[in-house]
């Protein structure tokens, strides 16, 4: 059967790059982008303005395009959800139910839903955090992602829904800006370094977090979705590891490329969120089950970011 894909939240940080890559692989007409907002950039394929919380609208878009797979990327991220806890919970959970129920009813065949390192909390082991461990998230976003993981597994076990998920670390890319996350600094720092040769970081200089370069994240997402179902042994969400670094370490990497770059620190409430998260992730299961392997280390990622952002200036 031809894959007919709907990407919900296509104008966001992941959506922008995922749609581009999926269209290369599946064909432009087979990947419908959708977002609650009108797109800011010209679309090179089908687009639908869609509020995922509106079940009727979602169903009519799915029917119109004969969709059989949904990538659900719409969410409030960690920092924004702390400011709007009730809406964060409503959007992050009800969007998932609306999509999982389409799969339960057999209207669509496959679902991708992103989880996050935010499912872990202060009581979780911080180094090489294992797949199965203590999970006591302290943010609205983390609580919604952990609950979502449990529901994904439940829908798989009870209703045989083919749902797949990754616990993304902080994502870094040059094609679009992140919005409302705690790890956003690791993108902003490059923009400010190139523009002003200076950056004030909202995290502590030693606040190490798990991160990943976008080409790795997109490859992981599509590999997981394309893997034969029998290889997917975890139906909650897979740990996924790339690079771990602190603001101080990424700043010194940037300095190698932009020698007069200066960083200063003004930690705010996002540093408290970051403090509750792991420093590094053990992704043994993803490697063993469906052959995941990251390609980018800190210096390769930083060089590529600087090269590509310089071309955009
Ligand atoms: C955030 O910072 O909220 C996200 C995430 C780690 O899921 N980038």
163 pLDDT band (50/70/90 cuts)? very high
Atom of ligand 1 nearest to the CA of 180: 3
Is there a domain that residue 10 lies in? Answer: yes
The reply to whether 16 falls in a domain is: yes
The pLDDT, as a whole number, for residue 160 is: 98
- Residue 39: pLDDT band (50, 70, 90) is confident
Check whether residue 193 and residue 122 sit in a common domain. Answer: no
CATH of the domain at 67: 3.40.50.720
Q: How far does residue 79's CA lie from ligand 1's centre (Å)?
A: 8
Q: How far is the CA of 3 from the centre of ligand 1 (A)?
A: 29
Confidence of residue 299 (pLDDT cuts 50, 70, 90): very high
Q: How confident is the model at residue 1 (pLDDT cuts 50, 70, 90)?
A: confident
Both 116 and 186 in one domain: the answer is no
Whether 92 is in the pocket of ligand 1, judged by its Cβ within 6 Å, is: no
Domain count, the chain: 2
> Would 289 be classed as within a structural domain?
no
Give me the mean pLDDT over the 260-264 stretch: 97
Q: Is 98 in the same domain as 203?
A: no
Single pTM value for the model: 0.97
Residue 43 has a pLDDT of 80
Per-residue pLDDT band at 303 (split at 50, 70, 90)? very high
Q: Indicate which residues carry an active-site annotation.
A: 141
Q: What's the pLDDT at 178?
A: 86
288 assigned to some structural domain: no
The verdict on 80 and 195 lying in the same domain is: no
Separation of CA 26 and ligand 1 centre (Å): 28
Q: In this structure, are 80 and 223 located in the same domain?
A: yes
Indicate if 204 and 142 belong to the same structural domain: no
Give residue 248's domain range: 171-211+242-279+296-312
Statement to judge: residues 253 and 222 lie in one domain:
no
1: number of Cβ within 10 Å = 5
Please state the φ and ψ torsions of residue 260, each to the nearest 5 degrees: -95, 20
Pair (149, 40) in one structural domain: yes
Distances (CA, A) of 268 to 1, 68, 202, 278: 50, 43, 5, 18
User: What's the CATH number where 181 sits?
Assistant: 3.90.25
Whether residue 50 lies inside any domain: the answer is: yes
Looking at the fold, whether 186 and 229 belong to one and the same domain comes out as no
- Which protein residue has the closest C-alpha to ligand 1 atom 6? 170
Q: Are 11 and 77 in a shared domain?
A: yes
Task: Identify whether residues 110 and 189 lie together within a single domain.
Answer: no
How far out from the chain centre does Cα 62 lie?
23
Share of the chain above pLDDT 90, in %: 96
Task: Let me know the angle formed at the C-alpha of 80 by 150 and 58, rounded to the nearest 5 degrees.
Answer: 60
Give me ligand 1 centre to Cα 269, in Å. 14
- Say if ligand 1 is within 6 A of residue 71 CB: no
Q: Is the CB of 181 under 6 A from ligand 1?
A: yes
Residue-wise pLDDT for 119-152, tens only, equals 999 999 999 999 999 999 999 999 999 999 999 9
The least confident of 31-45, 158-172, 224-238 is: 31-45
Percent of the chain predicted with pLDDT > 70:
100
**Same structural domain, 51 and 82:** yes
For the chain, give the longest Cα–Cα distance. Answer: 58
pLDDT digits (tens, 9 = 90+) for 56-109: 999 999 999 999 999 999 999 999 999 999 999 999 999 999 999 999 999 999
Report which protein residue has its CA nearest ligand 1's atom 7.
Answer: 116
């Amino acid at each position: 059967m031809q894959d007919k894909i709907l990407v919900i939240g296509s104008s966001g940080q992941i959506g922008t790059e995922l749609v581009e890559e999926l269209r290369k692989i599946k064909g432009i007409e087979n990947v419908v982008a959708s977002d609650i907002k009108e797109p800011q950039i010209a679309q090179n394929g089908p687009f639908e303005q869609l509020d995922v919380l509106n079940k009727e609208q979602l169903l009519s878009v799915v029917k119109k395009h004969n969709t059989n797979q949904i990538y659900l990327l719409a969410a409030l991220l960690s920092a924004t959800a702390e400011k709007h806890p009730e809406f964060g919970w409503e959007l992050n959970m009800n969007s998932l139910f609306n999509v999982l129920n389409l799969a339960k009813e057999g209207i669509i065949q496959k679902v991708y839903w992103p989880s996050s390192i935010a499912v872990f909390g202060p009581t979780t082991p911080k180094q090489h955090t294992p797949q199965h461990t203590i999970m006591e998230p302290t943010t609205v976003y983390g609580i919604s992602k952990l609950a979502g993981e449990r529901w994904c597994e439940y829908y798989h076990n009870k209703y045989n829904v083919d749902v797949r998920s990754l616990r993304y670390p902080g994502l870094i890319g040059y094609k679009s800006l992140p919005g409302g996350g705690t790890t956003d600094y690791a993108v902003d720092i490059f923009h400010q370094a190139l523009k002003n040769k200076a950056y004030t970081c909202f995290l502590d200089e030693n606040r190490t977090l798990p991160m990943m370069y976008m080409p790795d994240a997109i490859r992981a997402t599509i590999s997981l979705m394309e893997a034969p179902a029998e290889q997917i042994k975890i139906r909650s969400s897979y740990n996924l590891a790339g690079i771990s670094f602190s603001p101080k370490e990424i700043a010194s990497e940037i300095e190698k490329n932009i020698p007069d770059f200066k960083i200063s620190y003004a930690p705010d409430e996002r540093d408290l969120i970051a403090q509750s998260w792991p420093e590094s992730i053990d992704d043994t299961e993803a490697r063993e089950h469906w052959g995941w392997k990251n390609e980018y280390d800190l210096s390769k990622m930083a060089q590529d970011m600087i090269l590509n952002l310089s071309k955009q200036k």
